[in-house]
Amino acid sequence: MRFVALDKQHGHIEAELTEAFARLLKTSAYTLGTEVEQFEAEFAEYCESAECVGVSSGTSALSLVLRAAGIGPGDEVIVPAHTFIASALGAVHAGATPVLCEVDEATGLIDPEAARAAITPRTAAIVAVHLYGQMCDMDPLTEIAKAHSLFVLEDAAQAHGALYKGRRAGSLGDAAAFSFYPSKNLGALGDGGAVCTADETLAARLRRLRNLGQRVKGEHVELGYNERLDGLQAALLRVKLPHLDAWNEARRVRAERYQELLSDEITLLTERPDGRCVYHLMPARFADRDAVATALRAQGIETGIHYAPAMDAHPALEGIATVTGDIRAARDWAAEELSLPMHPDLTDDEVEFVAEAVIEAVTETASAGGGRC
């Protein structure tokens, strides 16, 4: 049982993808160009944002937007202690210091009160990571940020199309960073990313920074980077974008079925009542995660871990990131989370097979002394 099945997804739209590739071949606009511009406009409209700037990856989106906002050496950026390392690397690459704070026990999302407690005179930004397809509690985060004049960056790499109080991911912060890594809800056929923002000045600087600091061709007005979105990836993303809502709804149907089958036995992700999760992942928690993963693998079921260790334990961040307060919940998530197969083409039979295998694995683990999950 595969964790993702991109071949199935692409099989449904193969003719459209092929047509887009052929269209690009005729233009020779392989870096930036018309396809990128049209995708930027379409994705901005989808995200209910005024501007979209395509870049080379989600990680570059995070680092470039912080640089464009003037955040760098001497500044601190608050990041949840449970997330993918790129959420902190964006701050590091901008020259700032990531400050790791606690997350919510039920969702794994940043705890607004922990973020508030982490603020110092050096704090410049808060990274609100929309993890597993679910958006953070944005109202208190934006209120905290406004009170302290902080930049709010949505890390929406896992939340394409997710909602918070009826508003799309990418429309609530000062800017939002997206990844189009192939396995994302909206994935390219290679790397890609984007920044959405309502700030035209910020967007203009992002366009310069991604393209070697050029204002116009040959006129380099600042020290920029080569972090452009390929025309090919933009063309393919344009094909996939109109299908995104249907794919997200299919993920929600699969998640509901998992919940029906497993919620009495297993600790699953709590969905916030004021949002709409798009289930980029289907996280479950187990006291003996490794034993459960081994048992599922023996039945041919692929799983993932998102994410371990907790951010403070990464050797790459040693001496760079700092921890504020108690991050017990973040460490618990890192120790217990196991992602079950999740993609729009999962069948009911496949979900039921995985659920039965999970229950069996938990029972066997408990019998062997692992305790209840």
Q: Of 1.10.260.40, 2.60.300.12, 3.40.640.10, 3.40.30.160, which CATH number belongs to 6-241?
A: 3.40.640.10
- Which residue from 182, 204, 223, 180 is spatially nearest to 65, judged by alpha carbons? 204
Q: What tens digit of pLDDT does each residue of 105-133 get?
A: 999 999 999 999 999 999 999 999 999 99
d(CA 105, CA 260): 21
Q: Stretch 57-62: mean pLDDT, rounded?
A: 98
pLDDT value of position 293: 97
pLDDT value of position 373: 43
Q: What tens digit of pLDDT does each residue of 198-243 get?
A: 999 999 999 999 999 898 888 888 989 999 999 999 999 999 999 9
Token pair of 50 as six digits: 């005024």
d(CA 179, CA 253): 24
- 84 — pLDDT class (breaks 50, 70, 90): very high
| Long-range contact pairs involving 45-49 (C-beta distance under 8 Å, separation at least 24) | 46/161, 46/168, 46/241, 46/244, 47/168, 47/169, 47/170, 47/171, 47/176, 47/196, 48/167, 48/168, 48/170, 48/171, 49/168, 49/170, 49/171, 49/176, 49/196, 49/197, 49/198
Domain boundaries, the chain: 6-241, 243-368
Least confident of 32-36, 189-193, 248-252: 32-36
Token pair of 324 as six digits: 């504020």
- Residues 99, 126: contact at Cβ < 8 Å? no
User: pLDDT at residue 372 above 50?
Assistant: no
pLDDT value of position 369: 62
Predicted TM-score (pTM) of the model is 0.95
Q: Stretch 240-268: mean pLDDT, rounded?
A: 96
Average pLDDT, the chain: 95
The architecture CATH gives domain 243-368: Alpha-Beta Complex (3.90)
User: Any idea how long the chain is?
Assistant: 373
